[in-house]
């Protein structure tokens, strides 16, 4: 049985990870960024572009390549290949990394949790190499996986040559790709357990202590910002990708090739302020609010049951515009017993006539299987008197 409910409304939206074409961007009358070569601003949930400036220009991104390093590590943790409590023995190669580091001791063991934290908080190159060798066997093999993942994410102007971002020939990305990579990283909620740490001591097995200070200065200067990754080399200039959230709207920004540290942070704040002032997310389906129509069930103590979306659904739009929103609810054939939260169908959401997002419809209640007595009572109630 297939039941389709079509509903039209004019509300605002974000939602899911749908691929959308976005708005027609005209930056000719905007002066948002200062002293940088390229920039990009997007909505996190929908992926729609809000602002762009030379967004596909291929440039070095320095330590921002660690966004992809972290992605592969988080993938390994998510898949069970690594556990946060696993202990890693540091190689001579990893401990010998230059640049920003936490001074890992060769031959000593550190937890995956410690190493991830040191990368997110203080951009530790030695921790990157230690984790890359553990995940893929060698840094070279890990880099090959980084490039493969970039292709999967649609990063068409990105090529990695190492996992740290230290200068090396044939390594580049662009503002749009960095934003796409960072957006993907944020799907791992564990990221935010580390990204908001401002100052913390890194304790070594030999009782040495390395003080870590977050390189994301907006944590102190911009209260809506709760994550980001900086990058700097003489070749790349000052780079920064960040995220900020206000109410239901989360934004992602990327700035490449700024001529000063202040300019990369100022440009990011300018983009965030522009985004929050001119765009919005409004909930259109509440996961705690059952839909108006119920689904039929066979073999249950009741003949129908209430359903709701598995998660809140939003529409992303310009502040003063109301897109036309419609959605179809498609039921699957179901038999009792049914438990609350069970997947029983799908909801297709359309924005201005284009498929925007698909979410699962779940049962809002339990439905017990009918007993013999229940079936007999249902039959007898239909008998003519």
Where are the alpha helices (H) located in 12-111, listed in sequence order? 66-79, 92-95
Predicted local distance difference test score (pLDDT) of residue 381:
53
pTM of the model: 0.85
DSSP letter at 37 equals S
Predicted local distance difference test score (pLDDT) of residue 377:
56
Alpha-carbon gap, residue 260 to 221, rounded angstroms: 17
Start-end of CATH 2.60.410.10 domains in the chain: 4-15+284-372
Where are the alpha helices (H) located in the chain, listed in sequence order? 66-79, 92-95, 112-122, 125-136, 139-152, 175-185, 191-195, 218-221, 261-278, 372-380
Q: What is the dihedral of CA 71, 77, 81, 86, to 10 degrees?
A: 120
Alpha-carbon gap, residue 257 to 255, rounded angstroms: 7
Q: How many CB atoms are closer than 10 A to CB 194?
A: 18
CB 70 within 8 A of CB 191: yes
CB 260 within 8 A of CB 238: yes
Predicted local distance difference test score (pLDDT) of residue 98:
86
Alpha-carbon gap, residue 255 to 61, rounded angstroms: 9
Predicted local distance difference test score (pLDDT) of residue 20:
35
Q: Classify the phi-psi angles of 54: left when phi > 0, otherwise alpha if psi is within -120 to 50, otherwise beta.
A: left
Q: Which residues of the chain have pLDDT under 70?
A: 1-29, 372-385
Predicted local distance difference test score (pLDDT) of residue 327:
85
Topology annotation, domain 4-15+284-372: Peptidoglycan synthesis regulatory factor (PBP3), Domain 2 (2.60.410)
Burial class from Cβ neighbours inside 10 Å (0-12, 13-18, 19+) for residue 337 reads middle
Alpha-carbon gap, residue 136 to 72, rounded angstroms: 10
Identify the bridge partners of residue 230 per DSSP, sorted by sequence position: 240
Residue with tokens 């961007």: 25
Cα→Cα distances 159→9, 58, 149, 151, Å: 43, 9, 11, 9
Phi first, then psi: give them for residue 143, nearest 5 degrees: -60, -40
- In what helix (H) or strand (E) does residue 241 lie, and over which residues does it extend? strand 237-246
Considering the domain 57-175+184-225 in this protein, what is its CATH number? 3.40.710.10
Start-end of CATH 3.40.710.10 domains in the chain: 57-175+184-225
Q: What is the dihedral of CA 51, 56, 57, 61, to 10 degrees?
A: 90
Residue with tokens 């039941």: 3
Predicted local distance difference test score (pLDDT) of residue 322:
87
Cα within 13 Å of Cα(62), Cβ side:
22
């Amino acid at each position: 049985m297939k039941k389709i409910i079509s509903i039209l409304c004019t509300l605002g939206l974000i939602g899911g990870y749908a691929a959308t074409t976005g708005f027609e961007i005209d930056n000719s009358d905007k002066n948002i960024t200062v002293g940088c070569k390229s920039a990009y601003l997007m909505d996190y949930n929908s992926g729609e572009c809000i602002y762009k400036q030379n967004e596909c220009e291929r440039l070095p991104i320095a330590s921002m390549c660690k966004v992809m390093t972290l992605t592969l590590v988080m993938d390994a943790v998510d898949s069970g290949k690594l556990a946060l409590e696993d202990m890693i023995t540091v190689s001579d190669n990893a401990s010998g990394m230059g640049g920003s580091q936490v001074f890992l001791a060769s031959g000593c063991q550190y937890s995956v949790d410690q190493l991830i934290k040191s990368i997110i908080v203080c951009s530790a190159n030695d921790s990157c190499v230690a984790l890359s060798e553990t995940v893929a066997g060698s840094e070279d093999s890990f880099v090959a996986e980084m490039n493969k993942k970039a292709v999967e994410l649609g990063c068409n102007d990105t090529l990695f040559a190492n996992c740290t971002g230290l200068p090396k020939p044939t390594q580049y990305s662009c503002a749009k790709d960095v934003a796409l990579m960072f957006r993907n990283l944020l799907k791992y909620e564990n990221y935010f357990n580390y990204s908001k740490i401002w100052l913390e001591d890194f304790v070594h097995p030999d009782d040495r202590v390395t003080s870590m200070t977050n390189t994301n200065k907006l944590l102190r200067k911009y209260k809506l910002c709760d994550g980001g990754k900086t990058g700097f080399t003489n070749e790349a200039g000052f780079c920064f990708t960040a995220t900020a959230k206000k109410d239901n709207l989360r934004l992602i920004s990327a700035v490449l090739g700024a001529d000063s540290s202040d300019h990369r942070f100022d440009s990011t704040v300018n983009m965030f302020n522009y985004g929050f002032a001119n765009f919005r997310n409004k909930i259109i389906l509440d996961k705690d609010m059952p839909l108006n129509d119920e689904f039929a069930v066979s073999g249950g103590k009741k003949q129908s049951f209430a359903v709701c979306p598995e998660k809140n659904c939003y529409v992303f739009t310009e502040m003063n515009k109301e897109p036309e929103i419609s959605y179809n609810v498609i039921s699957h054939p179901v038999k009792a017993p049914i438990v609350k939260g069970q997947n029983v169908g799908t909801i297709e959401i359309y924005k201005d006539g284009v498929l925007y997002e698909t979410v699962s419809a779940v049962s809002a209640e339990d439905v017990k299987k009918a007993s013999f007595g229940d079936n007999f009572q249902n039959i007898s109630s239909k008998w003519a008197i």
